[in-house]
Amino acid sequence: MTRALVIVLSTLVIRLSLPVPVHAAGQLSQPAPGAAVDIPADYVIGPGDVLNIVFWRDTEMSLEVVVRPDGKISMPLLYDVDAAGLTPEQLRKRLSEAASELIEAPNVAVVVKAINSRFVYITGKVAKAGPYPIQGSLNVMQLIATAGGVAEYANSKNIVIMRSERGQTKSFKFNYKEVINQR
């Protein structure tokens, strides 16, 4: 299930493919970057995410994997395992159960190395429309700047942030001009 956040600026659209809380001043909550990925409480594995699967005392079963577009990961002896849509803990349990037929009392860890399944899609009256990966904490102003800023004739007073979650769309108003003038 893909959840998305969409920002509409005149004909500018910014869509986030994740459940991102939107705060009053357009601040979007996201995990901070660092040595270890800070996993949001509602995080589920998605295509493109990089996982380190560690079987304690079994280096041949341990490896780094990228979740394929079909949502599966390939593991030695376990072959293709569904990963997308699961939490890391659910995947750990699934791998442990599958490996228990081959390994006595497997001890498995699933470490999220990179979250690549969360994107913002920006289209419309900006300099560089397209998909952008969500890395760290971003607000609406940063997303617009990432896309090269608003175009000259964009209706920047009337940005609508549309968030799709569980099949429903919610809208939030954002006034770019007002935020710029506060600085």
Q: What is the pLDDT of residues 169-180, one digit of tens each?
A: 888 888 888 888
**How confident is the prediction for the chain on average, in pLDDT?**
79
pLDDT of res. 37: 65
> Which range has the top average pLDDT, 39-48, 97-106, 165-174?
97-106
Q: Residue 125: pLDDT band by 50, 70, 90 thresholds?
A: confident
pLDDT of res. 13: 53
CA atoms within 13 A on the CB side of 115: 24
Distances (CA, A) of 146 to 46, 76, 85, 133: 23, 40, 28, 10
Amino acid at 135: Q
pLDDT of res. 95: 97
Longest dimension (CA), the chain: 66
**How far apart, in whole angstroms, are the C-alpha atoms of residue 66 and residue 47?**
8
pLDDT of res. 23: 37
User: In sequence order, which residues have a C-beta less than 8 Å from that of residue 70 and are 6 or more positions away?
Assistant: 47
